[in-house]
Structure 1
Amino acid sequence: MSIKTLVVAPYAGLAELTNILKAELEEFDITVIQGDLSEVLPQIDSFHLQGYDLIISRGGTATLLSKHSYLPVIDIQVSGFDILRMLTLVKGFQAPVEMIGFRNVIEGIISGSNLMDMDISYTVIHHQDEVDQALQAAKSKGVKVIVGDNITVKKATGYGMQGVLITSGPESVKAAFTQAKQIYKISQTYKVKNQAFETLLSTMETGYAIVDQEGTVKYANQAFRDLLKLKESQSNLFRSYSYLQKLLVNLGQGITLDHQMMMVDQEGQFALTGDEIPMESDLKVYYLKARPAAQAADADIHFGYSAGLNHTFPPLIMTQAVYSKEKASYTLPMAVYGKEGAGRRLFVLGSLMDHSKTMVEIKIFKSAEASFRALLALISICNEDQILYISGAENLTLTAQEEFAITLEKVAAKTVFSFLEDPVFMLEQTQIDKKLYNFFKKQIVYIAPLHERRADLEEYIRAFLISFNEKYGKQIVGVRPEVIEALHDHSWANNLFELKDVMEQFVQHTSSEYIDTNVLPILYGLQQNQKNKGSLDPELTGLNLNQTLDHIEKDIIQIVLEQEGMNQSHAANRLGINRSTLWRKLKG
């Protein structure tokens, strides 16, 4: 079986030489492409799809490929023959000559020039970005000829200097293929084991992945790719989920995520746990385990990342003016409170965030020692460019709340607490610790439910109309007065989320320029469902009261779940319990 090899040649001569040598390299199935640093990177995903066993390249291009590809990359080394040929060539130049390159190449040339009794000036660079500065300095000294690699020689032309490329001869190329053969034999031993593990992982419903610090996916089973909607050709996680870079940074800082503390994505589709994998090298590698967010209900704590305004709601609905006619200037730390769906989170995103900040959202469902310690570790490493948005603090014990407040006082990030009830009332009911309350008491903001903001209702309707026109390609210009009147009369039990859903359905079912009364059955149907949901009359629900209290409780939970469309969050909110308690009762 031949070794399928990709040769990435930074210059045309190397591609030509490799093609000539193909006949001698019978053990290899060789594909040659020509491209420099800038041309190679966009093609890496396609390289992985074509089934190559390894890659051979040279210089900076080889270095770049090794950082972004999980395939073995062999660098064609500059040999003594290469140096001797180049020095013989430039020896005849009467014009001043200078070498610009990395130390490993420069040192070999210096040794060769000393043997040949040549005096050539040189500049050692440590990064490709230093080339321009070195060329400018050389030109100012009157240098006419530059010796270097492909990038250096190309740029030298732009400065009006003659470039001499240090080319690779057949000896160097053959040596690289010899090394490739050895690496291939070693890798095949591990490949059998890897295939066995991959086959096992591919059958699992839980998603697994190994990712490096650059976001390159070293391995991902199909369940992971399906949950995160990653194409087979996509090898970098950050391209779709840039905020996961912050997660990997946190893992690298010692945060461990397990079944008690999970990261949930912005859309609430999946939950992640993970940790850093200890490596002997400086390269940081992490494992990630993904599952549907619905299966993470048993976790003590959820957290995630948001950055400024998003497309979930129109910007108008997420601005300070919507919530405060006085346009007060807010100070942090603070607390916001209001009914579910009133817009507490939107208020923070729209009024307190800017493009330079990231919001770390933390939802606390229950208080366990291990998850609480993990939470303290997480907030301790948050910086001044982050806002902590914390809901469910009342689910911590009073002792834990006090320790939480002491830790927050030392944290650089600003904090916003979110509650469903007035924190003053919760303090009186001993649901909130006094020290925690004192932490935010100077700024407490009430987010009124939608039925208390009816004067703003038409403004919200227009904002949603514009948003859904764009989403569905409609050109609806307004809403008929009869429909506006019906919307004003509606109770809006689920606040902004309910208005969003209603307006989306209205737009979807409208084909003319105006939303007309023909859509009102959608609203009336919603009202009837809410009336039905509000009733637990045994005769209407078929509830059997001739059984134990535990069985009656389970039946009631099941009825409420069905009435809420099996939405556990809505059912828990209606029953006055949190999701983790609901999950335990269902499981029990």
Structure 2
Amino acid sequence: MKVMAIAPYNGLKELMITLGEKEEFELQVEIGDLQEGLTLAKDAVNNDIDIIISRGGTAELIQRELTIPVVEIEVSGYDMLRVLTLAKDYPGKKAIVGFSPISEGASTICEILDINMSAYKVKEEKEIEPILIQLQQEGYTNIIGDAVTVKTAERLGLNGILLTSGKESVLKSFQNAKKIYRFLSSFKKNYLISFDIVQNETEGIVVYNSTSQAIFANPYFNDNFSDNFKHNLNIQDAVKTVCNTGFFETVFNTNNTFWKIKGYPLETSHSKLIVFRINKYRSNDNQDIDGISIVSLKNEVNSTGSLTNIVTKNERMNRILKASTIYADTKEPIWISGEEGTGKERLAKLIHVNSERREHPLLIIDCEVLSKGQWACLLDRSSYDNLLAHNPNGSVVLKNIDSLELDTQKRLASYLKKGLTTCRFIALSRKSMEYLTETQRFDQELYYLLASLTLDLPSLKERKEDIESLALFFIGECNIKFGKQIVGIRNDAKEDLKNFEWIGNIKQLKQIIQESVLLAEGAFLELHDLKRVINKIRVTSESHEIDLTGTLEEIEREIIKKIWLEEGMNQTKTAERLGINRTTLWRKLK
């Protein structure tokens, strides 16, 4: 018996893999939702899969489109109770939006428990967005639902809370699958597709028609991009751009490899086709590209943790968010300052998502890691592999700009003055401009080129009213990521969080919550769960003893970590104190 399970989120995938190890049937678990799930199911039919196990709207869609038996993973009353208990303490108005089994079941539980939460039923995916827009206009900020509802909510700037399925529901689906299989004969359908193209082509080629339907792909594309191409590119917008302008160009990152995409029209006697060619990025000086990443809006929305929502009750932070929304509509460069871990990169992503550039890549360059040779390649307009040149409509985040060496600063200023790229720059600095100017560590001309608009983020110590909300938000992320069902934080644990020093700000809070959630055994995060992690950090940062019983590499890492913590997790200060360059430090801390 061969079973494919299609899970809408990673936590459910991991739970099914764990439970499936005790079953006698062969289980393959993939992540997909609605159309993605349907694509996986179609592939499963061609690979002798006997039964599909899926959830919610994805299960219904597969049942309508395919003849293969489908078993639905129910969202049980236990599952709803866990999520509703967690969500009821979230700040702001809350609503449940989903297909009838979810909306009606959750509504019933809310009535029984006297939870004030509205429920809205949908019959088709296209109904979700209009309902969410209306709820947003009515002041709702938190939306509870299945994966497609949560993704849509997060894309609109709402906080999505996913209804997760627990152990009981998964085991029940396994039992139902085995019952169905007993009544089935062998069900095999093989569809062989041959490709009329040169088999040794070392670039991906995919062809779409004018309605954005893929009609051909070569073997290299299928081997390397078939699962992630549409996650990194808005196909409809790209096809439209080629039809209107005759050309399309962008970049994306997958599996730590950078790729360039070029699109152009292909006129045939019957119709107009759009061809996309995908080539690997090759650095001119053959160096690796640690310190550069490319963020795709689709990838971020599909991952745990929305980049389109920042939780805050803080008055200063709300003013910053309001300003960032206004700034997003401009083309001006933005300078964001704040201590390490205050959320500068998250705010930069939010600005990109709220701008007209949202469908194009966000290139993040860590100035603390990139070498002079890599900078020379990036700023060379004539280079075929110039990533900035291949991202003309996107945004570029210059992370840790305060650590950029002076000669590179001057070269970057010259590049910007010449107007060699049309991408939008967002600079992130851990130091204030006053400090950089007084210490003569920063080129004033570059600052004024990058700081047409400025934002200064407060530390977590200045946002104590946000600690509980942020912790709940991170718990929700961890529940999805690790398949946990933590529903809240005990009051004494909340107080301990508020009284902690937070030298690493939000980044440190997230790390502590994540480790505490993994160690927690109950439904709530208890004080002792946090103490185990917080006390370990305090001991590590305060201890003057280094364990010398390990290997030389382990002892070195302990020393580096101790100094890193003493310097407030500031890599520049740590590298200066240790007498090593930032690239070496970054690799040793990986």
State the TM-score bracket (shorter-chain normalisation): 0.3 to 0.5
Relative contact order, higher structure (CA 8 A, sep 6+): 2
